[in-house]
């Protein structure tokens, strides 16, 4: 049976995703996303269009991992090397490899920045703070610039359907407000580290704008 969402699980998976020499294991990275998607699903059907896209991307990466080339998809670092060396990435426009691991993971990577910005707002929020405002501010500072108008519009509508701060803390299933705030304080540096490692790697290889 699927376990109930817990913030602790998210923290654990992102922790497991970092190897000793600071590579990022794809298996745990996408497990973290699966956990977040299950959380999002519990918030209602207005978020289906978002979770569908997220699941689709997670699935693409899982398929690579399970394929005969799976060993090359162990870490984000090894995936980049493998796909670039073998010309498996569309670099300037979508053509022969519209669903490369590199471009797919980049979409999740951009969403990770949204998550980081949103969780930081949540961590430092007060009783009066609105989740919808925190969410859209984080979105405008991250994903929005990569999204077409129609998606920004739909996303804005979805944000308005978010539960209030108290209910939100509740579904996070991590104890009292204080405990949630502490756990967020623990999770954020990790998420931020995973984000930064990936960002630097993509930047170094000139892959931040993959179509």
Do residues 150 and 166 touch, judged by C-beta distance below 8 A?
A: no
Retrieve residue 7's tokens.
């913030």
Question: How many positions of this chain bind ligand 1Q0 (CB under 6 A)?
Answer: 22
Using CB under 6 A, pick the residue from 12, 40, 78, 90 that binds ligand 1Q0: 40
Q: Does 106 bind ligand 1Q0 (CB under 6 A)?
A: no
Taking alpha carbons only, the member of 159, 181, 157 closest to residue 169 is: 181
CA–CA separation, 123 and 135 (whole Å): 12
Shortest distance in whole angstroms from residue 105 CB to ligand 1Q0: 11
Centroid of chain to Cα 63: 18
| Residues 159-188, mask of contacts with ligand 1Q0 (x by CB under 6 A) | -------------x----------------
For the stretch 146-166, what's the b/e string if a residue is b when 16 or more beta carbons lie within 10 angstroms of its beta carbon? eeeeeebeebeebbeebeebe
Decide: residue 172, CB within 10 A, 0-12 exposed, 13-18 middle, 19+ buried: buried
Q: Does 31 bind ligand 1Q0 (CB under 6 A)?
A: no
Q: Does 54 bind ligand 1Q0 (CB under 6 A)?
A: yes
Stretch that binds ligand 1Q0, among 14-22, 39-47, 67-75, 82-90 (CB under 6 A): 39-47
Q: Does 124 bind ligand 1Q0 (CB under 6 A)?
A: no
Q: Does 30 bind ligand 1Q0 (CB under 6 A)?
A: no
CA–CA separation, 12 and 20 (whole Å): 15
Residue that has been written with the tokens 């519009």 in this structure: 153
Taking alpha carbons only, the member of 206, 210, 197, 203 closest to residue 29 is: 197
Q: Residue 25 or 139: which CB sits closer to ligand 1Q0?
A: 139
Residue that has been written with the tokens 């892959």 in this structure: 207
Shortest distance in whole angstroms from residue 99 CB to ligand 1Q0: 8
Stretch that binds ligand 1Q0, among 20-28, 45-53, 80-88, 198-206 (CB under 6 A): 45-53
Do residues 40 and 47 touch, judged by C-beta distance below 8 A?
A: yes
Q: Does 36 bind ligand 1Q0 (CB under 6 A)?
A: yes
Where does this chain bind ligand 1Q0 (CB under 6 A)?
Answer: 7, 10, 36-37, 39-40, 43, 47, 49-50, 53-54, 107, 111, 114-115, 135, 139, 143, 151, 155, 172
């Amino acid at each position: 049976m699927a376990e109930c969402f817990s913030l602790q699980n998210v923290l654990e998976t992102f922790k497991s995703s970092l190897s000793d020499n600071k590579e990022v294991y794809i298996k745990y990275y996408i497990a973290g996303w699966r956990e977040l998607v299950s959380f999002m699903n519990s918030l209602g059907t207005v978020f289906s269009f978002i979770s569908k896209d997220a699941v689709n991307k997670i699935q693409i990466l899982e398929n690579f991992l399970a394929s005969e080339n799976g060993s090359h998809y162990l870490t984000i670092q090894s995936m980049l090397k493998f796909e670039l060396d073998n010309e498996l990435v569309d670099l300037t426009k979508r053509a022969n490899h519209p669903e490369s691991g590199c471009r797919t993971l980049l979409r999740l990577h951009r969403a990770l920045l949204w998550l980081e910005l949103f969780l930081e707002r949540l961590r430092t929020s007060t009783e009066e703070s609105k989740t919808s405002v925190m969410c859209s501010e984080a979105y405008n500072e991250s994903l929005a610039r990569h999204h077409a108008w129609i998606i920004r519009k739909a996303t804005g509508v979805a944000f308005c359907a978010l539960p209030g701060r108290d209910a939100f803390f509740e579904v996070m299933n991590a104890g009292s407000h204080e405990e949630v705030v502490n756990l967020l304080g623990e999770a954020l540096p990790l998420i931020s580290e995973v984000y930064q490692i990936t960002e630097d790697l993509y930047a170094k290889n000139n892959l931040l704008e993959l179509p």
